[in-house]
Structure 1
Amino acid sequence: MAYLDPAAGRAREGRQAAAQADMAAVTTTAAAGATPTKAEFDKVVTDLANARATINGLLAKLRAAGLLAP
């Protein structure tokens, strides 16, 4: 009865993934006028790049832990 064997149970458990830092605070705010300025647009681009890096970091760590297929 494999389920009574603690060693076999641990072998089937997933490994804990490495820690991932929290995403940086969002720097954008609502545009003051109808059309965003270049500075406002650049903040959105920066926030998107930070979010992308955080998500990709999480996915890489889950793959390394064997929880996602490579």
Structure 2
Amino acid sequence: MAYLNPGAGAAREGKQTAAVANAAAATAAAAAGANPTKAEFDALLTDVNALRTKLNALLAAMRTSGQLAP
């Protein structure tokens, strides 16, 4: 249900944000030992960067639809 500001009328009715696809499944796994290997670290870094990209896409979509200030 859209928010309606009685003072501004229908001009303030909410808009739907453009769809942003779900993040892919994580590729990183728990470290095999006390210290992670370079490959384990790199897999985690890849996952974090992918999530950052998804979050930024979602925030941009929300700004475009007017749900967040630019």
Identify unmatched segments of 5+ residues in structure 1. Answer: none
Aligned to 1:18: 18
Q: Which segments of structure 1 move beyond 6 Å, counting only runs of 4 or more?
A: none
Query: Which structure has the larger Rg over C-alpha atoms?
Result: 1
**Cα RMSD, aligned residues only:** 1.1
Aligned to 1:49: 49
Give 1:30's aligned amino acid: A
Percent identical among aligned pairs is: 56
Please give the alpha-carbon distance, in whole angstroms, between the structure 1 residues aligned to 2:23 and 2:13.
28
More helix by percentage: 1
Per chain length, whose mean CA-contact separation is higher, i.e. which structure has more relative contact order (CA < 8 Å, sep 6+)? Answer: 1
TM-score scaled to structure 1, two decimals? 0.83
Aligned: 1:27 with 2:27: yes
TM-score scaled to structure 2, two decimals? 0.83
